[in-house]
Structure 1
Amino acid sequence: MEKWFISKKKADFDQIGKKFGIDPVVARLIRNRDITDEEEIRRYLSGTLSDISDPAAMKGVKEACILLQEALRSGTKIRIISDYDVDGVISNYILWRSLKNLGGTVDYTIPDRIQDGYGMNTDMVLQAKKDGIGLIITCDNGIAAFEPVAEAKKLGMNVIVTDHHEVPYQMEDGRKQEILPPADAVVDPKQKGCEYPYKQLCGAGVAFQLMSALYRAEGREEKELEPLLCFLAIATVCDVVDLTKENRIFVREGLKRIGFTENIGLQALLKAHKLEDSEVNSYHLGFVIGPCINASGRLESAEKVLKLFLETDPDEALETAQELKELNDQRKGMTNDGVRDALEQISRNGYDRDKILVIYLPDCHESIAGIIAGRVKDKLHKPVFVLTKGREGIKGSGRSIETYHMFEAMNEVKDVFTRFGGHAMAAGCSLLDESKVDEFRLRINECCTLGQEDFIKKVTIDVDMPVDYITMGLVRQMAVLEPFGKENKRPLFAHRKLFIERIQVFGDNRNVIRLSLQSDRGTRMTGMIFEEEESFRQKMGEGKQYITCTYYPDINVYRGNESLQIRIQHYFFT
């Protein structure tokens, strides 16, 4: 079920347009994103790296830099331990490359998703000690690794934790008390007392800022780190953190540089997807490049990707990039099967009556549980956990909706887990065995306070604007709003009642629908819908000739000719 709303935030759009040289419609779109004062608008439209906060303001950065400088001076062996997803792998690469350039003796470890699970564990700590490691630095994990960090300290190693996830806590006298790992330095902008003003960095963002502070401390030019911005852009988009303020600047700056990257592995990844001569945008990062990086950590080892980024032979790099693309194609098929099985289970067992969906797919590859949960969540607009049988107990991933803070809810039933972590919109967990699945389903639903209105998907329309007003100039100017992503979504317009003159269906799976449309003023427009034909025909029914829709305008280029079209997002027929 959906409810459509038109945003009615007020401002002097003509004045804003004149001040910043933009169309009043674009000014309205910026206001709809709660960007109001002139300095915020300037940063949104043209913010640069000079607008990024001082990394020294981040709690723990000073202590971490001192430890790293001591390790660099003494030749101490440094080991980076990351997560296995896009953000983790890229955080690892940013730290490795930066420390290596400073002359550090540094190597890395990435957990195996199946054998090791998420984040640093005690076995990795013991192995680090055997290997003569003197300093462990985590990235995109570690904030909940209390026991492994304690073991590392017991064995005489220094530990720096860099992370961006929520800090674990326990309730004492009705108040949250943080549980920090006993590291020598903890760098996480979400920890209490951290004065860094922007809290929404991804793990790679935290790692990059730490390296920025270290390069300053070492008297090195921070410009030396700029080639890493294209990697930071990929991590920021793929970790689905807010694309606002600093994240927005990092992604925009990274996209400027990605076409000129000298990294042979990244060049190969672009070439494998025929993007080497294209203008890469946030869509390509999130839905083309990122999934290939993730596929390695899901189905094989994430170290394969890190080795790709360290590769110096173009032929070897292209071969690995092609393998990653094939792995991702394999992952897509497995995901489609998993989504189908999940929806069947919900229907068969009557789980659709539950507020929180807990689905157990024992034969599902645990690495794609989160993707399946996300797909089911998008379809049913309910929080979803997908659990599967791991080597040691039950593993699971959850994806949430805006009205449900998943990590907070899991804290309410944390004794059912052997391990859990995450944030508002996504989480991971481990359970002892299958006997705990039903208990988890029951208890997570019992403590849920969501009402029926929380499950209605709210579609916010920026401007109720007939297609007659779309011009090439407006569409081109809207490029200043990019990059698009979480909290900076692609603008949405609406048109009431367009006459459908013709329907054409394309694509190998017959899932590209092209509509020839006409407004009541006579404006003709092509409308594109990306959906399976069967679903589209069912919604249309018999005798319907008009479509009311939300849309985003863009320019279609075919054989050098440009024409306006709309990409239809939500619709109904009359």
Structure 2
Amino acid sequence: MAERWFIKNKKADYKYMAAKYGITELMSKLIVNRDIVDDEMIKSYINPSIDKLRNPREMKDIEKAVEILRNKIDSNKKIRIVGDYDVDGVMSVYILYTALKRCNANVDYEIPDRIKDGYGINKNIITEAKKDGVDTILTCDNGISAIEPIKYAKELGMTVIVTDHHDIPFIEKNENRIFIKSEADAIINPKQNECKYKFKQLCGAGVAFKLVEVLYDELSIDKKECYDLIEFLAIATVCDVVDLIDENRIFVKKGLEKINNTTNLGLQELIIECEMQEKKLSVYHLGFIIGPCINASGRLDSAKKGLKLLLANEESEATALAKELVKLNEERKDMTMKGVEDAVEIVESNGMINDKVFVIYIPHIHESLAGIIAGRIREKYNVPTLILTKSENGAKGSGRSIEECNMFEELVKCKDLLDNFGGHPMAAGFSLQEKNIDEFRRRLNENTILKDDDLLRKVTIDSVLPLDSIDYELIEDLERLEPFGKANSKPLFGEKNINVVKASILGKNRNVLKLKLKTTYGKIIDAIYFSDIEEFEEIITEKYGREELQKLYDGVYNDVKLDIVFYPSINEYNGNISIQIVIQNYR
């Protein structure tokens, strides 16, 4: 697939910065490239420690909420936590429930059913709560836009506290946006205009954790107990794909240390079930193994199973639940793969391949998988993708976008065709009548401001780095930048015109290409490439001919030269340690 390569060229005094913070100039450049430029943020980035967490009391309504909770705890009023069915929602409920139990609150929880209830708190959940004698509702990872349900709860005489991190809802009046808020007794969400809290990118569990910090403080409970919850917050932060800078970076870095020595029975059993007990867990394991298992319960069953796993006190219960979640996740993977295949078939055979926005209707797929499938199709083609499926009253969809296209704003332009919708620039959910799907597809493609160039995959390079300058010290420096994720991407370097001395194919599925590269000073360095090997062979053959490709595999002198985008790493094999580079892109 065609690509555009860019080198980031941000202006800064790297010499001064390196001297001031005791880091190398390359490190200074990488930090500035990630838009981390203010003094406080740089210090927190270089040394992400607990003492660099921000003061939670700066958050609007947080002290008010804690005051309400204290009174409810003292008078033994019944509190119900209402969460969401994704990983962030489950972890938010876990954090609040554990903390309130620790404070001797009379508390239980409810998580809406993805299919039956849909997202967020609704009238039925409130009616049920009233029937159960609940006095106070505490939302997490939802509630900011539940204007009507909260009005209803207030009419029934209930107290409502909202903790959320989603965008503030608005109505449009003569081209102006007027932000609206509910009648809740306290609303904690750093994205509110009037909230002074400087870091706006917390996930739902992050906001819940901040509330617990103040609650424990007011009830004189040791801070250490609060920080014990950080491992669960780390899972939510990674899985909700928020920016891994500032506080989120601290949560994930410290959380990973705790997860690797976790005493939580459920997590221990899940790690064993996923055959990871020998591994040092990283962001990858949270985002692609642990998170999806917890998510699978909310997608195909009830999210309460994931929560029960974390709350389990008996080993037998924890083992049974862990087994069940892993099995559900395997099922989800199979269903996802089938859905992706169906979507590719539709794109390739229905003349849709030239669309700038894909709108793909697959009536039979499980509606909870639409978002994952949309993400996979977007990755494959680098095109904003909306996957729709049949629902009880029409069609329901989920979209995933690319940086150049604000999906939420695109849906706003088509709102007359939609029954309802919500989301962010990069992801959105919506529903509409089946008869409107074709018009919806036509209008999204007609309205779009995307140009052909926008759909080329963008490869952004941090800096040119001669292969000869890579040593263990540099690699150790780069490890200090971890954990990598959104807004703190893994550093990528470029080098031109590299001679490839030898190639071989490894791996039991023959899906790893190992190359030996010759540096400017004639040293040999190992490189590894984990992508499409057939395509690599085609490109080399096209440019240099079949013979040169054969020479490459035979390790004899050849003419093959590549420009590469890579990151340096350490290869440990049979007790031997060597430097190798991992190639991300080549041309």
- Common fold: TM-score over 0.5: yes
Matches within 5 A, 1:70-469: 70-431=71-432, 433-469=433-469
Q: Write the distance in 1 (CA, Å) between the matches of 2:521 and 2:392.
A: 63
Q: Which moved more, 1:452-461 or 1:479-488?
A: 452-461
Is the CA contact (8 Å cut-off) linking 1:88 and 1:139 kept in structure 2?
yes
Is the CA contact (8 Å cut-off) linking 1:114 and 1:391 kept in structure 2?
no
Q: Is 1:52–2:53 an aligned residue pair?
A: yes
Q: Write the distance in 2 (CA, Å) between the matches of 1:509 and 1:182.
A: 58
| Runs (5+) with no aligned partner, structure 2 | 550-559
1:114-144: CA deviations, max 9, x gaps? Answer: 2222222222111111211111111111122
1:155-189: CA deviations, max 9, x gaps? Answer: 22221121111111111233211122322222111
- The DSSP-based 3-state class of the residue aligned with 2:229 is helix
- The DSSP-based 3-state class of the residue aligned with 1:293 is helix
State the Cα distance separating 1:555 from its structure 2 match. 0.7
Q: Is 1:485–2:500 an aligned residue pair?
A: no
Paired amino acid for 2:564:
C
State the Cα distance separating 1:303 from its structure 2 match. 1.0
Paired amino acid for 1:213:
V
- The DSSP-based 3-state class of the residue aligned with 1:418 is strand
State the Cα distance separating 1:84 from its structure 2 match. 0.8
Paired amino acid for 2:132:
D
Q: Write the distance in 1 (CA, Å) between the matches of 2:581 and 2:324.
A: 35
Is the CA contact (8 Å cut-off) linking 2:82 and 2:109 kept in structure 1?
yes
What's the TM-score, normalizing by structure 1?
Answer: 0.94
Paired amino acid for 2:48:
G
Is the CA contact (8 Å cut-off) linking 2:468 and 2:520 kept in structure 1?
no
The match for 1:522 is 522
The match for 2:571 is 556
State the Cα distance separating 1:536 from its structure 2 match. 3.6
Q: Which moved more, 1:233-242 or 1:24-33?
A: 24-33
1:232-264: CA deviations, max 9, x gaps? Answer: 111111111111111111111212222222211
Is the CA contact (8 Å cut-off) linking 2:48 and 2:253 kept in structure 1?
no
Q: Write the distance in 1 (CA, Å) between the matches of 2:334 and 2:514.
A: 26
Is the CA contact (8 Å cut-off) linking 1:509 and 1:532 kept in structure 2?
no
Q: Write the distance in 2 (CA, Å) between the matches of 1:530 and 1:498.
A: 19
Sort the Cα spacing of 1:505 and 1:329 in 2 relative to 1 into closer, same or farther, 3 A.
farther
Q: Write the distance in 2 (CA, Å) between the matches of 1:147 and 1:276.
A: 47
Paired amino acid for 2:487:
E
Runs of 4+ in 1 over 4 A off after TM superposition: none
Is the CA contact (8 Å cut-off) linking 1:164 and 1:203 kept in structure 2?
yes
State the Cα distance separating 1:489 from its structure 2 match. 0.2
Q: Write the distance in 1 (CA, Å) between the matches of 2:125 and 2:396.
A: 20
Paired amino acid for 1:286:
G
- The DSSP-based 3-state class of the residue aligned with 2:68 is helix
Q: Write the distance in 2 (CA, Å) between the matches of 1:492 and 1:200.
A: 24
Sort the Cα spacing of 1:325 and 1:124 in 2 relative to 1 into closer, same or farther, 3 A.
same
Q: Write the distance in 2 (CA, Å) between the matches of 1:337 and 1:235.
A: 27
State the Cα distance separating 1:509 from its structure 2 match. 4.1
Is the CA contact (8 Å cut-off) linking 1:91 and 1:203 kept in structure 2?
yes
Is the CA contact (8 Å cut-off) linking 2:82 and 2:111 kept in structure 1?
yes
The match for 1:537 is 537
State the Cα distance separating 1:529 from its structure 2 match. 1.9
State the Cα distance separating 1:520 from its structure 2 match. 4.2
Paired amino acid for 1:85:
D
Is the CA contact (8 Å cut-off) linking 1:467 and 1:523 kept in structure 2?
no
- The DSSP-based 3-state class of the residue aligned with 2:480 is helix
1:198-228: CA deviations, max 9, x gaps? Answer: 1110111111111112222223333221111
State the Cα distance separating 1:15 from its structure 2 match. 4.4
Q: Write the distance in 2 (CA, Å) between the matches of 1:329 and 1:541.
A: 39
* Alpha-carbon RMSD: 2.0
Is the CA contact (8 Å cut-off) linking 1:23 and 1:474 kept in structure 2?
no
Q: Write the distance in 2 (CA, Å) between the matches of 1:49 and 1:27.
A: 23
Q: Which moved more, 1:131-140 or 1:178-187?
A: 178-187
How many residues align structurally? 571
- The DSSP-based 3-state class of the residue aligned with 1:553 is strand
- The DSSP-based 3-state class of the residue aligned with 1:541 is helix
Q: Write the distance in 2 (CA, Å) between the matches of 1:176 and 1:12.
A: 40
Q: Which moved more, 1:474-483 or 1:151-160?
A: 151-160
Sort the Cα spacing of 1:58 and 1:102 in 2 relative to 1 into closer, same or farther, 3 A.
same
Q: Which moved more, 1:410-419 or 1:170-179?
A: 410-419
Q: Is 1:472–2:475 an aligned residue pair?
A: no
- The DSSP-based 3-state class of the residue aligned with 1:481 is coil
Quote the sequence identity (%): 49
Sort the Cα spacing of 1:324 and 1:532 in 2 relative to 1 into closer, same or farther, 3 A.
farther
The match for 1:547 is 562
Is the CA contact (8 Å cut-off) linking 2:420 and 2:431 kept in structure 1?
yes
Q: Write the distance in 2 (CA, Å) between the matches of 1:109 and 1:546.
A: 60
State the Cα distance separating 1:313 from its structure 2 match. 1.9
State the Cα distance separating 1:478 from its structure 2 match. 1.2
State the Cα distance separating 1:498 from its structure 2 match. 2.8
Q: Write the distance in 2 (CA, Å) between the matches of 1:506 and 1:111.
A: 47
Paired amino acid for 1:90:
M
| Runs (5+) with no aligned partner, structure 1 | none
The match for 1:513 is 513
1:34-59: CA deviations, max 9, x gaps? Answer: 33354432211113222222222222
Sort the Cα spacing of 1:341 and 1:534 in 2 relative to 1 into closer, same or farther, 3 A.
farther
Is the CA contact (8 Å cut-off) linking 1:270 and 1:289 kept in structure 2?
yes
